[in-house]
Amino acid sequence: MAILNFRKEFREILERVYLPEGISNEDIKERLLPLSKHIFKYLPSNLYRYRSCSEMNLDAFDGDKLYAVTPDKFNDPYDSLFRYDKEGLRKTVLSSVSKDFLFSLRDYFRSGNDFPKQLSIVLPQEVLDNIKNNLINADDGQIEIIDSLNGPIKEILNNNIDKLTDEAVKTVRQIAYIACFSETVRPVTMWSHYADSHKGFALEYDSRLFQFRCQHCDKANVCNQAAVCNIYPVIYHRQRRDATDFLAYYIGKGMGMPIKNPDILAVSKSLLYKSPQWSYEKEWRLIVSKLNELKDKSPVCIYNIRPTAIYYGADIAPINRKMLHIIAKEKGINEYQMYIDNKSFEYSMKYKAYNL
């Protein structure tokens, strides 16, 4: 199957999979099975990671560290940026403010909870405190108090829906860490864009070592340090992914609404969409969605894994290649030198075994 057809079919399978919050682990495994089979069928045996010769990248190579960053740090401002129906979102959120919601919110506050922190970023604290106190003090017979809050709450939401949405979109692009790989080590553009204009290097990895890491651990469900790492192909599509439903849930949850996530895969799905203009990258992504203790740090080391080979850029500085060669020899991995074949008609880098 051609690579574009494979990614097209992957998108179709992915968008058919929904994992509502609260379903059993057995149900999750069953729903993910078609997706996993498709990924494993077309996952290349090797994946490549292009690097510049920075101090951090040299240290990472030496220590077998794999660093990742949040999508808001990527060079594409549209990366992982989903679209949404603004008016549809507004109607959905405002229609959710009902008597039943306010009674549920009252019980939520009476249990010792408060408005989520993200809400205080966009709404005045005194307004939130006033709503909270009025609800806590209202009993079931004081329907007029509950009714009187409907209007003000809807007005507050209506006036601040843009701020709430912007904050939600920003947060979603910061709650996952991504390490990027390519299927090939030959493209001139990849060396130009991600390996310091051919002055850097590329590392080869055995892709089988990235497959659903924590799910094979019998402590995965109780370990606070567990991180679910999955390797996925990037979807190159002319339209950005619509996440209106998820955004409505996210804002509603931030308001204290007793609602469940309609699809816990929603964020991961959005992280995989890119414009077809980037299709030359043939990208795969390793996504880490649970690193709460490192949430404010980027980049972070998400993996310790030894590469199987190193490729030196055509214009790498001799001193950098010498340092990398010493590390590669200690690891006992294969070394290759990229070069341009002047006899070839192709615009594609070539490589040969490197011997000092």
Concatenating the DSSP letter of every residue in 175-198 gives S-EEEEEES-S--HHHHHHHTTTT
Q: How confident is the model at residue 118 (pLDDT cuts 50, 70, 90)?
A: low
Q: What is the mean pLDDT of residues 58-85?
A: 91
**Cβ contact 259:105 at 8 Å:** no
Q: What pLDDT score was predicted for residue 331?
A: 96
Q: How far is Cα 193 from Cα 70, in angstroms, rounded to an integer?
A: 19
Say how many residues make up the chain.
356
Q: How far is Cα 36 from Cα 13, in angstroms, rounded to an integer?
A: 10
- What's the token pair of residue 188? 């001139």
Q: Is the pLDDT of residue 216 over 60?
A: no
Residue 253 CB neighbour total at 10 angstroms: 16
User: Mean pLDDT across the chain, nearest whole number?
Assistant: 83
Instruction: Tell the residue number behind the tokens 């990895």, with chain if given.
Output: 205
Q: How confident is the model at residue 47 (pLDDT cuts 50, 70, 90)?
A: very high
Q: What is the mean pLDDT of residues 64-93?
A: 86
Query: For 338-353, how does the pLDDT look when each residue is reduced to its tens digit (9 = 90+)?
Result: 999 999 899 999 999 9
Q: Give Cα separations from 280 to 185, 318, 349 (angstroms).
A: 12, 29, 14
Q: What pLDDT score was predicted for residue 277?
A: 94
Beta bridge partners, 242, equal 83
- Which ranges of the chain would DSSP assign to H, the alpha helix? 3-16, 25-42, 55-62, 86-95, 99-110, 117-122, 125-136, 143-172, 188-194, 244-254, 266-270, 318-331
Q: What pLDDT score was predicted for residue 226?
A: 41
pLDDT > 90 fraction of the chain, expressed in percent and rounded: 42
Q: What is the mean pLDDT of residues 317-343?
A: 96
Sign of CA dihedral 7, 12, 15, 17: negative
Q: Compute the C-alpha angle 63/223/207, nearest 5°.
A: 45
Q: Is the pLDDT of residue 122 over 70?
A: no
Q: How confident is the model at residue 143 (pLDDT cuts 50, 70, 90)?
A: low
Q: Comparing C-alpha atoms, which of 107, 101, 115, 110 is closest to residue 149?
A: 101
